[in-house]
Amino acid sequence: MQRYGTLLPAPPLSRALWLTLLVLAGLLLWDQTQLDLWLAHLVGSPAGFALRENWLLETVLHDDARRASWLLILGLSLGVWWPVGPLTRIDFSSRLQLAATTLAAAFAVSLLKGFSDTSCPWDLGVFGGAARYVPQHWMFIADGGPGHCFPAGHASSGFAFVAGYFCFRDTDPRLARIWLSAALAAGLLLGLAQQLRGAHFMSHTLWTGWICWAVAFILDLVWPRHLEEQS
């Protein structure tokens, strides 16, 4: 297969693993602080969150962005067999990995959220709700609210696409870095929009980014490299 761009060796496995573990340690440390509440208090009050129903945040950056994300996933899925644009730069196996891993990352976040007992900021007593604040969201401790708010499902509409980094990095390292940057930026933007509405804490968004990266990293380790398209 023809390779594009300046070829650089893929980061050693140990480097990617240490990066993954380092970020995980940072997230666990974040959960021991009050940063989530401090940030939420910047935009929320005992009366709730003034931007909860803001048109830009709710309609554009939530509803429309979610639809756009699913359309892009559909395009990646169709591109497994009918590649266009950047997808023509990778083989069938990598295209299948990209579509499958993106879906797997989004599903993993959704599954964890379904089992979570963590409530959203707008459900907390300090913001007009009834739930109490539990900083260790990942421990699935009931907080007296409706729950199902951790990790941040909407942020996965951007973060799930980090899979593209692993699929393009050997063939087109420059595109891989651009793809990764775009996925991270989209996930952070969508997560921030939800934070301003009171729908999530910042840690919810950061955990979602880590989960999507971890799913992509693990699947890249086990993915078969020489799958052939069946005619």
Q: What's the pLDDT score for residue 8?
A: 42
6 occurs within a structural domain: no
Q: What's the pLDDT score for residue 5?
A: 41
Pull the structure tokens for residue 108. 């993993």
CA dihedral 17, 20, 25, 28 (to 10 degrees): -140
94 occurs within a structural domain: yes
Q: What is the mean pLDDT of residues 85-106?
A: 96
227 occurs within a structural domain: no
For 213, the domain range is 13-222
211 occurs within a structural domain: yes
Continuous H helices in the chain:
13-30, 35-43, 55, 65-79, 92-115, 156-159, 163-168, 173-197, 202-222
CB 118 within 8 A of CB 149: yes
Length of the chain counted residue by residue: 231
C-alpha span between 212 and 167 (Å, rounded): 14
23 occurs within a structural domain: yes
Model pTM above 0.75: yes
Report whether pLDDT(46) > 70. Answer: yes
164 occurs within a structural domain: yes
> Domain total for the chain?
1
Whole-number mean pLDDT of the chain?
91
Report whether pLDDT(6) > 80. Answer: no
229 occurs within a structural domain: no
122 occurs within a structural domain: yes
